[in-house]
Amino acid sequence: KSVFDLFVKLDSYSSAKALDLVNYKKSESLNRNVRRIFSRFWKCFFLRKGYKEKEIGFTIALVAAIYPLISYLKYKNISND
């Protein structure tokens, strides 16, 4: 509905992913998640033709790109507690 809703979903989904990583004891690395930024952006913006949506397509691709990194950072935060 709006860009605000997009970020609310990002927060919700990344928290759920972080909990999954903790519960299933999956090993993640910072390097792997930084690389995912580029591959997810490429997939969302170019392969799925997000560029046709102009600014909103770029925003969606950017949010999709940072999702793994935010999930990883939340996972590390939960793991350290």
3-state secondary structure 5-73: HHHHHHHHHHHHHHHHHHHCCCCCCHHHHHHHHHHHHHHHHHHCCHHHHCHHHHHHHHHHHHHHHHHHH
| Residues with pLDDT less than 50, the chain | none
Query: What is the tens place of the pLDDT at every residue in 14-32?
Result: 999 999 999 998 888 999 9
Q: What pLDDT, on a 0 to 100 scale, did the predictor assign at position 21?
A: 92
Q: What pLDDT, on a 0 to 100 scale, did the predictor assign at position 51?
A: 95
Cα–Cα dist 11/52, whole Å: 26
Q: What pLDDT, on a 0 to 100 scale, did the predictor assign at position 43?
A: 97
Q: What pLDDT, on a 0 to 100 scale, did the predictor assign at position 79?
A: 87
Q: What pLDDT, on a 0 to 100 scale, did the predictor assign at position 80?
A: 84
Q: What pLDDT, on a 0 to 100 scale, did the predictor assign at position 28?
A: 85
Residue 17 contacts residue 36 (beta carbons within 8 Å): no
Write out the two tokens for 8: 């609310």
